[in-house]
Structure 1
Amino acid sequence: MSFEEDDFSTMYEYIDWTTNTEGAVIDGTEKTCLRTEFGLLRTILIAMEAMVREIEFDKHSVGFDIKSNPRGKVSVTPKAKTETYYRCLSTFFRNYAHAERRVYSPHVQAVVEALDAVGLQPYGFRFGEPGAREPGMGKTHAEIFNEVVAKVSEIVASSAFKERVRVRKRNAARNEAKGLAIEQKVFENKSRQLVLMLHFGYQRKHRSAMTFDEIQKHRKKFFNNCRTNKLLRGIVDYIWKLEEGDESGLHLHVLIFYTADSCRDMYIAQQLGEYWKDVVTDGIGQYWNSNANKIFHEKYGHGVGTGEINWDDDAKREALRENIRYMTKADQFLKMKYGEHSRLFGTSQVEEKKKSGRPRVVRPKGTGDLAGSVQADSFDSDSFGKTGTDARNPDAGQSE
């Protein structure tokens, strides 16, 4: 398989957008704002991932051809994309290779291991002109780069590396299966769903003090309150993922299936965000209502998978499934380190359909209401109180 067949660049772009963007209301309109670190690490990781996969595919495709004439003058000629890889490796080595809390993909981690194996220290060495000779090593920088490439080739050919790739893919596939099972079951249980996408985080002045245990406590409180709160009882099922950015801090990326008694998805998402901010976090929280900016979901070319969705709307459901796939695959490429048994992803438990109704019939498109649809907007905003008496989703708190 060619290294190009795995679209890792799109995956890194998704990670960058979910980690380094923030919703803000500007002139009364919800807009997406880019944080200062947006795009910086992404381009470097894409280059490192591509370099290692190219070496894995053909170990002779990356590096410098180095020749010396009779007078001892060295000529250095880069192969293919080597110049780009060389420049990006220099930035990666200097700024990111030894970041203690980032967990890179197995391919990018192979670069870190290769740099260490060659004996390079980020504070004592910098990649310069390829033909320049490093005094302490007696080698040109092109020769040192070639040694790194050779070590990468050795690492990716090892059984230990292949096992790391297999485990990372297995974990992502397991989470993807959980998420897609949620999507399938909720539409089996009810023909129409309101799909909400929110980011739950913290106000800038509180982010540095927020801990992993604290955000997990807030997450549990939010979903456990589905049992007793009128607003939260509308949550049918959910998928959550914990993320962190250098600037954005700890935050949750949450996909919620909400009862479709209303079609006002932006308003309900806003109410859930306000509940996170005011009740769950005691006023220090912050949220981003992605339903107010659906263009974000079209960024990756798989359509809009949020808002009101009917069971037979193939385009929207496939877009929703693709959103789930992105959520679950992201940790294959980049995540933060919190401890061996720290949970970064979870779902609710879907309640089995209790009884069968009339068989669903897919009506021809454009002939009126979709099969299984209900009258628009029977939603009563006054019903949203702070407490309730019964639980719409008794399994909502059992993701632990």
Structure 2
Amino acid sequence: MRGHAPQLRPVPSLRRDRDGLLWYATTGSVGSIDPARIPRNRLAPPVEIVGVSAEGLRHAIPAGGSLALPQGTRNVQFDFTALSLSIPERVRLRYRLTGFERQWQEPVGRRQAYYTNLAPGRYRFEVTAANEDGLWNSGGAALEIVILPTFVQSVWFKLLLAALTLLLLYGVYAARIRYLTALMQQRLHERLAERARIARALHDTLLQSIQALLMSFDAHSRHLKEGTQERIRLDQTLNLAEQLLVEGRDEIMVLRGSVSAQALELALAQFGKGLAEHRPHAFELKVSGTPRRLRPDVQDEIYAIAREALFNASRYADATRIELELGYGAAAFLVRVRDNGRGLDETVAAAGHRPGHWGLVGMRERAGGIGAVLAIDSAPGTGTAITVTVPGKMAY
């Protein structure tokens, strides 16, 4: 109805009569409306997707199935429409792209949907419409699209990139480990060299001076008559000084034989060579198998056992040759100290230790603490071999 409601007051422009009709007056006509019989549009508008454009290129819509877009597609435009012959300007539309968004979008005044920066994958574009009375098309229209990935967007490229990244990180880690290992080895050599220098200095100055003093006192003591009280006291003092000198040499051996978690062979070699410098025997180190890192507790006990065995062989065996063997096997780790000396006394072999000494007892205790087996093979005049065997699963 064209026109406007009259502006004359108090004359009304809208009235309801007894039958429920609404009468209205405009500036140009009079009419009525029956609220009980207002016509409603029960027909939902049909919806159609009329076109798809990707990267500016138009693609035909397939009759069924899905539409495959070219590799590397990122920008897509969908064209759609809804058919209504009653009041087309009041048709409402909404759309969404499943796989990219969840909420519906309702455009105003346009019949296109734009999407940018789409990743490769499978999507479903859905569109539906409602007529002027708010009746929505429950079916709507839908189109499946597939964006094929390029090589750099494929899963294989991502796996390759991840593998290269891991390889690069491993290379950096390995280089760092090699650098730190070399640095620790260098510091270990420097530390052992400094300890050896101090030991040599003590041996060449302090111990040699004490030895010279002992020889001088011994020469003077010979001028005293044997059996006199002065000769007896001087001999006792000289014996005590000799014991102190031996203990000082032993401490120097300990000083030269420091251990490191990175070089068990180097530390034992230094200790064995230090013993050979002060005893009339040769020393040799043999390593079989590929050296592997021992557990810290195992390495400490192995070092203590090997050092004790080397010290005993050097001091008590009267050997001309002492051999240390380290065997890195897959099934077990082996340490063997062998000499060609006089062998253990029968009383020592039977008792398991020398009276007043607890070196062999301590070696057995240390071996038992790490699950190792200690074996002693000795016979008078044929030398002694002390072998410690640690199972591989407990050693490495």
Q: TM-score, normalised by structure 1?
A: 0.21
More strand by share: 2
Which fold has the larger relative contact order, with Cα–Cα distance below 8 Å and residues 6 or more apart in sequence? 1
